[in-house]
Amino acid sequence: MLTRTRTRTVVFTDMANYTRAVAASDREALRNLLAMHEQVVSPVLTNRGGRIVKNIGDSFMALFDSATDAIQACVELIEAHRSENGVAFRAGIATGDVEETENDAFGEVVNLAARIIAQTPTGEVWFSNATRHCMNQAEISWDSTGRHTLKGIPGDIEIFRAIPRHLAFLPDMLAAAVRSGTIARWRNGAATPSILPSTHVLLEGFTPGSAELTEALSCLPLVEPGRIWFVSHRITPAERYEWMRSGRGLLIATNEGLDNTVRKLQERPTRTAGTDTIILDGGNAASVNLVLAGLALPAVPLAEVVAGYSYDQLADGRWFNRSDRAVVRVEVTGEGASLTVLAPGVQVDGQAQAIGANCPLKHGVTIRTPAGPMQYRSLGSDGYLGALVGDTNLQLGVSPGQPVELGREPQHPGMLLPDRGTQDNIQWLAGPRAARAREKGFTLDKVLTGRRQASVSAEEGIPVVVPLHETCATVLLDQNGRAHRLAAPSRVRVDDVLLLGTAVIALRAPLA
Protein backbone atom coordinates (compact mmCIF):
# COMPACT_ATOMS: atom_id res chain seq x y z
CA MET A 1 0.00 0.00 0.00
CA LEU A 2 1.55 3.28 -1.14
CA THR A 3 1.40 6.05 1.49
CA ARG A 4 2.56 9.64 1.37
CA THR A 5 2.67 12.40 3.95
CA ARG A 6 0.72 15.51 3.06
CA THR A 7 -0.59 18.50 4.98
CA ARG A 8 -4.36 18.30 4.68
CA THR A 9 -7.50 19.57 6.31
CA VAL A 10 -9.47 16.56 7.51
CA VAL A 11 -13.27 16.81 7.61
CA PHE A 12 -15.71 14.46 9.30
CA THR A 13 -19.43 14.97 8.79
CA ASP A 14 -22.33 12.99 10.18
CA MET A 15 -26.11 13.06 10.11
CA ALA A 16 -28.25 13.65 13.18
CA ASN A 17 -30.53 10.88 14.47
CA TYR A 18 -29.08 8.34 12.03
CA THR A 19 -29.06 5.46 14.54
CA ARG A 20 -32.70 6.09 15.44
CA ALA A 21 -33.67 6.29 11.77
CA VAL A 22 -31.91 2.99 11.00
CA ALA A 23 -33.64 1.26 13.89
CA ALA A 24 -37.03 2.37 12.55
CA SER A 25 -36.33 1.56 8.86
CA ASP A 26 -36.93 -1.52 6.74
CA ARG A 27 -34.34 -2.45 4.10
CA GLU A 28 -35.86 -0.30 1.37
CA ALA A 29 -36.10 2.73 3.64
CA LEU A 30 -32.52 2.20 4.77
CA ARG A 31 -31.28 2.08 1.16
CA ASN A 32 -33.19 5.31 0.44
CA LEU A 33 -31.70 6.95 3.54
CA LEU A 34 -28.15 6.06 2.52
CA ALA A 35 -28.76 7.22 -1.06
CA MET A 36 -30.15 10.53 0.20
CA HIS A 37 -27.14 10.98 2.48
CA GLU A 38 -24.76 10.38 -0.44
CA GLN A 39 -26.67 12.74 -2.76
CA VAL A 40 -26.78 15.53 -0.18
CA VAL A 41 -23.27 15.50 1.27
CA SER A 42 -20.97 14.32 -1.51
CA PRO A 43 -21.57 17.18 -3.98
CA VAL A 44 -21.14 19.85 -1.29
CA LEU A 45 -17.75 18.48 -0.27
CA THR A 46 -16.40 17.75 -3.75
CA ASN A 47 -17.57 21.07 -5.24
CA ARG A 48 -15.22 22.81 -2.79
CA GLY A 49 -12.28 20.58 -3.66
CA GLY A 50 -12.73 17.85 -1.08
CA ARG A 51 -11.68 14.28 -1.75
CA ILE A 52 -13.95 11.77 -0.02
CA VAL A 53 -11.90 8.89 1.36
CA LYS A 54 -14.56 7.19 3.51
CA ASN A 55 -18.33 6.91 3.62
CA ILE A 56 -19.56 4.83 6.55
CA GLY A 57 -23.34 5.01 6.85
CA ASP A 58 -24.04 8.41 8.41
CA SER A 59 -20.45 9.70 8.24
CA PHE A 60 -18.15 11.06 5.54
CA MET A 61 -14.41 11.62 5.83
CA ALA A 62 -12.88 14.00 3.31
CA LEU A 63 -9.50 15.63 2.73
CA PHE A 64 -9.06 19.22 1.54
CA ASP A 65 -6.03 21.11 0.34
CA SER A 66 -7.57 24.34 1.65
CA ALA A 67 -8.76 24.89 5.23
CA THR A 68 -10.96 27.76 4.02
CA ASP A 69 -12.68 25.58 1.42
CA ALA A 70 -13.20 22.83 3.98
CA ILE A 71 -14.99 25.13 6.43
CA GLN A 72 -17.03 26.82 3.73
CA ALA A 73 -18.21 23.45 2.40
CA CYS A 74 -19.33 22.38 5.88
CA VAL A 75 -21.10 25.70 6.54
CA GLU A 76 -22.95 25.34 3.23
CA LEU A 77 -24.06 21.87 4.29
CA ILE A 78 -25.28 23.12 7.69
CA GLU A 79 -27.10 26.13 6.25
CA ALA A 80 -28.83 24.10 3.54
CA HIS A 81 -30.07 21.39 5.90
CA ARG A 82 -31.30 22.69 9.22
CA SER A 83 -32.96 20.44 11.77
CA GLU A 84 -36.37 21.99 11.13
CA ASN A 85 -36.22 20.54 7.61
CA GLY A 86 -35.98 17.02 9.03
CA VAL A 87 -32.29 16.49 8.17
CA ALA A 88 -29.39 18.02 10.06
CA PHE A 89 -25.63 17.56 10.00
CA ARG A 90 -22.55 18.46 11.99
CA ALA A 91 -18.87 18.63 11.08
CA GLY A 92 -15.51 18.36 12.83
CA ILE A 93 -12.34 19.66 11.18
CA ALA A 94 -8.60 19.55 11.90
CA THR A 95 -5.51 20.48 9.88
CA GLY A 96 -2.06 18.91 9.85
CA ASP A 97 0.09 16.15 8.37
CA VAL A 98 -1.64 12.92 7.44
CA GLU A 99 -0.46 9.62 6.02
CA GLU A 100 -2.57 9.48 2.89
CA THR A 101 -3.48 6.48 0.74
CA GLU A 102 -5.87 6.19 -2.15
CA ASN A 103 -8.75 5.08 0.06
CA ASP A 104 -7.83 6.22 3.57
CA ALA A 105 -5.83 8.59 5.74
CA PHE A 106 -4.11 8.14 9.10
CA GLY A 107 -2.35 10.19 11.74
CA GLU A 108 -2.86 12.37 14.79
CA VAL A 109 -4.79 15.03 12.88
CA VAL A 110 -7.31 12.39 11.74
CA ASN A 111 -7.79 11.33 15.35
CA LEU A 112 -8.18 14.97 16.39
CA ALA A 113 -10.87 15.64 13.77
CA ALA A 114 -12.74 12.53 14.94
CA ARG A 115 -12.58 13.69 18.57
CA ILE A 116 -13.76 17.18 17.63
CA ILE A 117 -16.86 15.93 15.81
CA ALA A 118 -17.69 13.78 18.83
CA GLN A 119 -18.00 17.04 20.82
CA THR A 120 -19.79 19.04 18.13
CA PRO A 121 -23.53 19.68 18.57
CA THR A 122 -25.90 19.00 15.69
CA GLY A 123 -26.07 21.90 13.25
CA GLU A 124 -22.59 23.23 14.03
CA VAL A 125 -19.10 23.19 12.48
CA TRP A 126 -16.19 22.95 14.92
CA PHE A 127 -12.49 23.08 14.01
CA SER A 128 -9.02 23.02 15.51
CA ASN A 129 -6.64 25.89 16.21
CA ALA A 130 -4.35 24.80 13.37
CA THR A 131 -7.32 25.04 10.99
CA ARG A 132 -8.03 28.54 12.27
CA HIS A 133 -4.46 29.60 11.58
CA CYS A 134 -4.54 28.11 8.08
CA MET A 135 -7.91 29.49 6.95
CA ASN A 136 -8.49 32.93 5.45
CA GLN A 137 -10.11 34.71 8.38
CA ALA A 138 -11.53 37.39 6.09
CA GLU A 139 -13.78 34.72 4.55
CA ILE A 140 -14.83 32.77 7.66
CA SER A 141 -16.98 33.96 10.54
CA TRP A 142 -15.88 32.23 13.74
CA ASP A 143 -15.69 32.32 17.49
CA SER A 144 -14.29 30.12 20.24
CA THR A 145 -16.21 27.35 21.99
CA GLY A 146 -13.62 27.23 24.80
CA ARG A 147 -10.97 24.78 25.89
CA HIS A 148 -11.87 21.09 25.85
CA THR A 149 -10.41 17.83 27.11
CA LEU A 150 -10.59 15.25 24.31
CA LYS A 151 -10.11 11.52 24.79
CA GLY A 152 -6.65 10.46 23.69
CA ILE A 153 -5.48 14.06 23.07
CA PRO A 154 -2.92 15.39 25.62
CA GLY A 155 -3.91 18.49 27.59
CA ASP A 156 -6.75 20.92 26.98
CA ILE A 157 -7.18 22.30 23.48
CA GLU A 158 -9.17 25.28 22.27
CA ILE A 159 -11.81 24.49 19.66
CA PHE A 160 -13.49 27.02 17.39
CA ARG A 161 -16.74 27.07 15.43
CA ALA A 162 -17.90 28.63 12.20
CA ILE A 163 -20.93 30.92 12.51
CA PRO A 164 -23.67 30.30 9.92
CA ARG A 165 -25.81 33.22 8.83
CA HIS A 166 -28.98 31.94 10.50
CA LEU A 167 -27.55 31.43 14.00
CA ALA A 168 -25.98 33.43 16.82
CA PHE A 169 -24.29 31.79 19.81
CA LEU A 170 -24.85 34.01 22.84
CA PRO A 171 -22.73 33.55 25.97
CA ASP A 172 -24.82 32.51 28.97
CA MET A 173 -24.78 35.93 30.63
CA LEU A 174 -25.95 37.61 27.42
CA ALA A 175 -28.68 35.01 26.91
CA ALA A 176 -29.83 35.65 30.50
CA ALA A 177 -29.94 39.39 29.77
CA VAL A 178 -32.16 38.74 26.74
CA ARG A 179 -34.57 36.67 28.85
CA SER A 180 -34.69 39.26 31.63
CA GLY A 181 -35.02 42.23 29.28
CA THR A 182 -31.78 43.87 30.47
CA ILE A 183 -30.46 44.29 26.95
CA ALA A 184 -30.30 47.27 24.58
CA ARG A 185 -29.73 46.75 20.85
CA TRP A 186 -28.27 49.96 19.40
CA ARG A 187 -28.09 49.99 15.62
CA ASN A 188 -25.90 52.46 13.77
CA GLY A 189 -27.91 55.55 12.91
CA ALA A 190 -30.63 54.95 15.50
CA ALA A 191 -31.26 57.14 18.54
CA THR A 192 -29.40 56.30 21.73
CA PRO A 193 -31.47 53.71 23.65
CA SER A 194 -32.27 53.85 27.35
CA ILE A 195 -29.30 52.29 29.13
CA LEU A 196 -28.90 51.48 32.82
CA PRO A 197 -25.63 50.36 34.48
CA SER A 198 -26.98 46.77 34.57
CA THR A 199 -27.85 46.78 30.84
CA HIS A 200 -25.94 44.79 28.23
CA VAL A 201 -25.48 46.97 25.13
CA LEU A 202 -25.27 45.42 21.66
CA LEU A 203 -23.67 47.71 19.07
CA GLU A 204 -24.93 46.63 15.64
CA GLY A 205 -24.01 47.83 12.17
CA PHE A 206 -20.93 49.78 13.20
CA THR A 207 -17.54 49.56 11.52
CA PRO A 208 -14.55 48.86 13.79
CA GLY A 209 -12.48 51.97 14.37
CA SER A 210 -15.06 54.25 12.72
CA ALA A 211 -16.01 57.71 13.92
CA GLU A 212 -19.60 56.50 14.43
CA LEU A 213 -18.44 53.75 16.77
CA THR A 214 -16.19 56.11 18.71
CA GLU A 215 -19.06 58.56 19.12
CA ALA A 216 -21.44 55.80 20.24
CA LEU A 217 -18.98 54.63 22.90
CA SER A 218 -18.59 58.19 24.15
CA CYS A 219 -22.38 58.48 24.55
CA LEU A 220 -22.68 55.42 26.77
CA PRO A 221 -23.29 55.93 30.50
CA LEU A 222 -21.03 54.31 33.09
CA VAL A 223 -21.27 50.66 32.02
CA GLU A 224 -18.75 47.89 32.73
CA PRO A 225 -16.70 47.17 29.58
CA GLY A 226 -17.83 43.53 29.67
CA ARG A 227 -21.46 44.68 29.17
CA ILE A 228 -20.62 46.38 25.85
CA TRP A 229 -20.83 43.98 22.88
CA PHE A 230 -19.74 44.67 19.33
CA VAL A 231 -21.84 42.66 16.86
CA SER A 232 -20.32 41.73 13.51
CA HIS A 233 -20.36 38.74 11.20
CA ARG A 234 -16.92 39.45 9.75
CA ILE A 235 -14.04 41.07 11.58
CA THR A 236 -10.31 41.02 10.82
CA PRO A 237 -7.85 39.51 13.33
CA ALA A 238 -6.39 42.96 14.06
CA GLU A 239 -9.82 44.49 14.67
CA ARG A 240 -10.79 41.55 16.87
CA TYR A 241 -7.62 41.90 18.95
CA GLU A 242 -8.00 45.65 19.44
CA TRP A 243 -11.63 45.35 20.51
CA MET A 244 -11.06 42.46 22.90
CA ARG A 245 -8.02 44.19 24.39
CA SER A 246 -10.38 46.84 25.75
CA GLY A 247 -12.16 44.20 27.87
CA ARG A 248 -15.40 44.51 25.89
CA GLY A 249 -17.49 41.67 24.51
CA LEU A 250 -17.58 40.47 20.91
CA LEU A 251 -20.54 38.67 19.33
CA ILE A 252 -20.07 37.17 15.86
CA ALA A 253 -23.47 37.12 14.17
CA THR A 254 -25.52 38.49 11.30
CA ASN A 255 -28.64 40.54 11.98
CA GLU A 256 -30.66 37.54 10.82
CA GLY A 257 -28.86 35.16 13.16
CA LEU A 258 -29.14 37.51 16.13
CA ASP A 259 -32.85 38.17 15.45
CA ASN A 260 -33.55 34.42 15.24
CA THR A 261 -31.73 33.65 18.47
CA VAL A 262 -33.20 36.56 20.43
CA ARG A 263 -36.70 35.63 19.31
CA LYS A 264 -36.27 32.01 20.41
CA LEU A 265 -34.89 33.05 23.80
CA GLN A 266 -37.77 35.45 24.39
CA GLU A 267 -40.38 32.90 23.32
CA ARG A 268 -38.97 29.97 25.30
CA PRO A 269 -40.54 29.63 28.75
CA THR A 270 -37.99 29.87 31.50
CA ARG A 271 -37.99 28.86 35.11
CA THR A 272 -38.63 31.69 37.51
CA ALA A 273 -35.40 32.72 39.16
CA GLY A 274 -35.12 31.47 42.71
CA THR A 275 -33.40 29.00 44.96
CA ASP A 276 -33.81 25.35 45.78
CA THR A 277 -34.11 25.26 49.56
CA ILE A 278 -34.71 22.02 51.45
CA ILE A 279 -36.50 22.46 54.78
CA LEU A 280 -35.60 19.46 56.93
CA ASP A 281 -38.62 19.69 59.22
CA GLY A 282 -41.82 20.38 57.33
CA GLY A 283 -43.51 21.62 60.48
CA ASN A 284 -41.04 24.41 61.17
CA ALA A 285 -39.80 27.21 58.97
CA ALA A 286 -36.04 27.49 58.52
CA SER A 287 -34.23 30.01 60.70
CA VAL A 288 -30.97 29.86 58.76
CA ASN A 289 -30.05 28.68 55.29
CA LEU A 290 -26.79 26.87 54.62
CA VAL A 291 -25.69 27.85 51.11
CA LEU A 292 -23.00 26.08 49.10
CA ALA A 293 -21.09 29.21 48.20
CA GLY A 294 -17.78 28.59 46.50
CA LEU A 295 -14.34 27.05 46.78
CA ALA A 296 -11.80 27.32 49.60
CA LEU A 297 -8.14 27.20 48.56
CA PRO A 298 -5.74 25.49 50.99
CA ALA A 299 -2.19 26.84 50.94
CA VAL A 300 0.62 24.73 49.49
CA PRO A 301 2.98 22.98 49.93
CA LEU A 302 0.54 20.78 51.87
CA ALA A 303 1.41 17.89 54.19
CA GLU A 304 4.81 17.51 52.45
CA VAL A 305 2.81 15.84 49.68
CA VAL A 306 1.09 18.42 47.46
CA ALA A 307 3.06 21.02 45.50
CA GLY A 308 0.00 22.48 43.78
CA TYR A 309 -3.49 21.68 42.61
CA SER A 310 -6.38 22.88 40.46
CA TYR A 311 -10.20 22.85 40.40
CA ASP A 312 -12.62 23.30 37.49
CA GLN A 313 -15.94 25.13 37.72
CA LEU A 314 -18.91 24.05 35.60
CA ALA A 315 -21.55 26.41 34.22
CA ASP A 316 -23.92 25.46 37.07
CA GLY A 317 -21.41 26.57 39.72
CA ARG A 318 -20.20 23.14 40.87
CA TRP A 319 -16.47 22.54 41.31
CA PHE A 320 -14.77 19.37 40.08
CA ASN A 321 -11.19 18.11 40.13
CA ARG A 322 -11.15 18.05 36.33
CA SER A 323 -13.90 18.36 33.72
CA ASP A 324 -14.14 18.62 29.94
CA ARG A 325 -17.11 20.98 30.43
CA ALA A 326 -15.36 23.53 32.65
CA VAL A 327 -15.79 27.29 32.24
CA VAL A 328 -12.82 28.30 34.42
CA ARG A 329 -9.92 26.56 36.14
CA VAL A 330 -8.36 27.76 39.40
CA GLU A 331 -4.74 26.74 39.98
CA VAL A 332 -2.82 27.03 43.26
CA THR A 333 0.96 26.81 43.53
CA GLY A 334 3.51 28.00 46.04
CA GLU A 335 3.53 31.33 44.19
CA GLY A 336 -0.20 31.98 44.63
CA ALA A 337 -3.53 31.36 42.91
CA SER A 338 -4.62 32.12 39.36
CA LEU A 339 -7.68 31.63 37.21
CA THR A 340 -7.64 30.37 33.60
CA VAL A 341 -10.58 31.06 31.30
CA LEU A 342 -11.81 27.94 29.50
CA ALA A 343 -15.13 29.07 27.98
CA PRO A 344 -16.69 32.22 26.51
CA GLY A 345 -18.52 34.77 28.64
CA VAL A 346 -16.14 35.13 31.60
CA GLN A 347 -15.44 38.56 33.09
CA VAL A 348 -12.85 39.67 35.63
CA ASP A 349 -13.60 42.98 37.36
CA GLY A 350 -16.05 43.83 34.58
CA GLN A 351 -13.58 43.10 31.78
CA ALA A 352 -14.40 40.39 29.21
CA GLN A 353 -11.68 37.74 29.07
CA ALA A 354 -10.39 35.81 26.08
CA ILE A 355 -10.25 32.02 26.08
CA GLY A 356 -6.98 30.93 27.67
CA ALA A 357 -6.51 34.19 29.60
CA ASN A 358 -4.70 33.62 32.89
CA CYS A 359 -5.58 36.05 35.68
CA PRO A 360 -3.74 36.16 39.04
CA LEU A 361 -6.22 36.13 41.93
CA LYS A 362 -5.86 39.16 44.15
CA HIS A 363 -7.95 40.15 47.14
CA GLY A 364 -11.31 41.65 46.18
CA VAL A 365 -11.24 40.69 42.49
CA THR A 366 -14.70 39.79 41.16
CA ILE A 367 -15.12 37.02 38.61
CA ARG A 368 -18.34 36.54 36.67
CA THR A 369 -18.89 33.20 34.97
CA PRO A 370 -22.03 31.56 33.54
CA ALA A 371 -22.65 30.35 37.12
CA GLY A 372 -22.84 33.95 38.40
CA PRO A 373 -20.48 36.30 40.26
CA MET A 374 -17.91 35.32 42.87
CA GLN A 375 -15.29 37.28 44.77
CA TYR A 376 -11.82 36.20 45.74
CA ARG A 377 -10.89 36.80 49.37
CA SER A 378 -7.23 36.48 50.25
CA LEU A 379 -6.64 34.88 53.68
CA GLY A 380 -3.11 33.60 54.25
CA SER A 381 -4.05 32.14 57.65
CA ASP A 382 -5.32 28.92 59.24
CA GLY A 383 -3.91 26.93 56.36
CA TYR A 384 -5.84 28.76 53.62
CA LEU A 385 -4.47 30.89 50.82
CA GLY A 386 -7.91 32.31 50.02
CA ALA A 387 -11.48 31.53 49.02
CA LEU A 388 -13.76 32.15 46.05
CA VAL A 389 -17.13 33.12 47.47
CA GLY A 390 -20.33 33.22 45.44
CA ASP A 391 -23.74 31.82 46.42
CA THR A 392 -25.33 29.02 44.42
CA ASN A 393 -28.88 27.63 44.38
CA LEU A 394 -27.83 24.64 46.48
CA GLN A 395 -29.21 25.43 49.92
CA LEU A 396 -30.34 23.63 53.04
CA GLY A 397 -32.71 25.10 55.62
CA VAL A 398 -31.96 24.73 59.35
CA SER A 399 -35.08 24.63 61.52
CA PRO A 400 -35.07 25.67 65.20
CA GLY A 401 -33.99 22.86 67.52
CA GLN A 402 -32.76 20.65 64.68
CA PRO A 403 -28.96 20.73 64.27
CA VAL A 404 -27.61 19.96 60.80
CA GLU A 405 -24.33 18.09 60.40
CA LEU A 406 -21.86 18.88 57.63
CA GLY A 407 -19.26 16.44 56.32
CA ARG A 408 -18.44 13.75 53.79
CA GLU A 409 -20.73 11.29 55.64
CA PRO A 410 -22.94 13.41 57.94
CA GLN A 411 -25.61 11.90 60.13
CA HIS A 412 -29.18 12.76 59.22
CA PRO A 413 -30.18 15.53 58.99
CA GLY A 414 -27.03 16.57 57.20
CA MET A 415 -25.40 18.49 54.37
CA LEU A 416 -23.05 16.43 52.22
CA LEU A 417 -19.74 18.13 51.50
CA PRO A 418 -17.81 17.35 48.27
CA ASP A 419 -15.77 14.16 48.13
CA ARG A 420 -14.55 14.31 44.53
CA GLY A 421 -12.49 11.14 44.88
CA THR A 422 -9.89 11.57 42.13
CA GLN A 423 -6.30 12.79 42.02
CA ASP A 424 -6.40 14.36 38.56
CA ASN A 425 -5.97 17.86 39.97
CA ILE A 426 -2.90 17.32 42.18
CA GLN A 427 0.72 18.24 41.47
CA TRP A 428 2.81 15.98 43.70
CA LEU A 429 5.98 16.78 45.57
CA ALA A 430 8.93 14.47 45.02
CA GLY A 431 9.84 11.83 47.57
CA PRO A 432 8.60 8.64 49.18
CA ARG A 433 5.96 10.31 51.36
CA ALA A 434 4.16 11.75 48.34
CA ALA A 435 4.47 8.43 46.53
CA ARG A 436 2.85 6.58 49.44
CA ALA A 437 0.09 9.17 49.71
CA ARG A 438 -0.66 8.82 46.04
CA GLU A 439 -0.82 5.04 46.29
CA LYS A 440 -3.22 5.24 49.25
CA GLY A 441 -5.66 7.50 47.39
CA PHE A 442 -4.76 10.85 48.99
CA THR A 443 -7.09 13.70 47.91
CA LEU A 444 -7.60 17.16 49.36
CA ASP A 445 -11.22 16.35 50.20
CA LYS A 446 -10.34 13.22 52.17
CA VAL A 447 -7.53 14.89 54.10
CA LEU A 448 -9.22 18.22 54.84
CA THR A 449 -12.88 17.24 55.17
CA GLY A 450 -14.10 14.98 57.96
CA ARG A 451 -16.88 12.45 57.67
CA ARG A 452 -18.62 14.43 60.43
CA GLN A 453 -16.90 17.81 60.55
CA ALA A 454 -19.27 20.35 62.08
CA SER A 455 -22.89 21.00 62.94
CA VAL A 456 -25.01 24.13 62.65
CA SER A 457 -28.10 24.88 64.70
CA ALA A 458 -30.27 27.95 65.17
CA GLU A 459 -30.97 29.42 68.61
CA GLU A 460 -33.53 32.20 68.45
CA GLY A 461 -32.46 32.90 64.88
CA ILE A 462 -28.75 33.04 65.76
CA PRO A 463 -26.52 30.40 64.09
CA VAL A 464 -24.42 28.23 66.38
CA VAL A 465 -21.52 26.25 64.89
CA VAL A 466 -20.09 23.23 66.68
CA PRO A 467 -16.77 21.71 65.45
CA LEU A 468 -16.98 17.89 65.50
CA HIS A 469 -13.60 16.79 64.14
CA GLU A 470 -10.31 16.89 66.02
CA THR A 471 -8.01 17.33 63.02
CA CYS A 472 -10.14 18.66 60.13
CA ALA A 473 -10.51 22.35 60.82
CA THR A 474 -13.76 24.29 60.83
CA VAL A 475 -12.72 27.83 59.89
CA LEU A 476 -14.95 30.88 60.26
CA LEU A 477 -14.57 33.73 57.78
CA ASP A 478 -16.46 36.64 59.29
CA GLN A 479 -17.92 39.71 57.60
CA ASN A 480 -14.81 41.73 58.45
CA GLY A 481 -12.65 39.37 56.41
CA ARG A 482 -11.00 37.72 59.41
CA ALA A 483 -10.52 33.95 59.40
CA HIS A 484 -9.96 31.81 62.48
CA ARG A 485 -10.38 28.18 63.45
CA LEU A 486 -13.30 27.36 65.73
CA ALA A 487 -12.24 25.24 68.71
CA ALA A 488 -15.54 25.21 70.59
CA PRO A 489 -19.26 25.79 70.00
CA SER A 490 -19.58 29.37 68.72
CA ARG A 491 -22.43 31.78 68.14
CA VAL A 492 -21.85 33.40 64.76
CA ARG A 493 -23.73 35.84 62.57
CA VAL A 494 -25.90 35.49 59.52
CA ASP A 495 -23.75 36.20 56.43
CA ASP A 496 -20.64 34.76 58.03
CA VAL A 497 -18.95 32.02 55.99
CA LEU A 498 -17.57 28.62 56.96
CA LEU A 499 -14.56 26.98 55.31
CA LEU A 500 -14.78 23.19 55.58
CA GLY A 501 -12.03 21.50 53.58
CA THR A 502 -12.42 22.96 50.10
CA ALA A 503 -16.13 23.78 50.59
CA VAL A 504 -17.43 27.26 51.33
CA ILE A 505 -20.73 27.34 53.24
CA ALA A 506 -22.47 30.69 53.70
CA LEU A 507 -24.96 31.29 56.52
CA ARG A 508 -27.85 33.22 55.03
CA ALA A 509 -31.18 34.51 56.25
CA PRO A 510 -34.14 32.56 54.81
CA LEU A 511 -35.92 34.16 51.90
CA ALA A 512 -39.15 35.90 52.84
Q: What is the mean pLDDT of residues 289-296?
A: 94
Q: What is the mean pLDDT of residues 489-502?
A: 95
Give the pLDDT confidence score for residue 35 in this predicted structure.
73
Report phi then psi at 17, rounded to 5: 60, 25
Give the pLDDT confidence score for residue 15 in this predicted structure.
85
Q: What is the mean pLDDT of residues 358-382?
A: 93
| pLDDT classification of 511: cutoffs 50, 70, 90 | confident
Please state which of the four CATH numbers 3.90.190.20, 3.40.50.1970, 1.10.3720.10, 3.30.70.1230 is assigned to the domain occupying 4-162: 3.30.70.1230
Please, are residues 414 and 404 in contact by the beta-carbon 8 Å criterion?
Answer: yes
Rounded distance between C-alpha atoms, residue 332 and residue 145, angstroms: 25
Give the pLDDT confidence score for residue 465 in this predicted structure.
96
Q: What is the mean pLDDT of residues 23-28?
A: 62
Name which residue leads in pLDDT, 441 or 275: 441
Q: Taking the CA atoms of 443, 445, 449 and 452 in sequence, report the sign of the dihedral they define.
A: negative
Q: List, for residues 442-480, the tens digit of each pLDDT value.
A: 999 999 999 999 999 998 889 999 999 999 999 999 888
Q: List, for residues 207-232, the tens digit of each pLDDT value.
A: 999 999 999 999 888 889 999 999 99
Give the pLDDT confidence score for residue 30 in this predicted structure.
63
Q: For residue 180, what are the contacts with CB-CB under 8 A and spacing of at least 6? A: none
Give the pLDDT confidence score for residue 471 in this predicted structure.
92
Q: What is the mean pLDDT of residues 143-160?
A: 92
The domain locations on the chain are 4-162, 172-267, 276-508
Q: What is the mean pLDDT of residues 329-351?
A: 95
Q: Domain spanning 276-508 has what CATH number?
A: 2.60.200.20
Q: Can you list the positions of beta strands (E) in 18-88?
A: 51-56, 59-64
Average pLDDT, the chain: 89
Bridge partners (DSSP) of residue 466 are: 455
pTM: 0.87
Distances, alpha carbon 146 to alpha carbons 53, 170, 342, in Å: 30, 13, 5
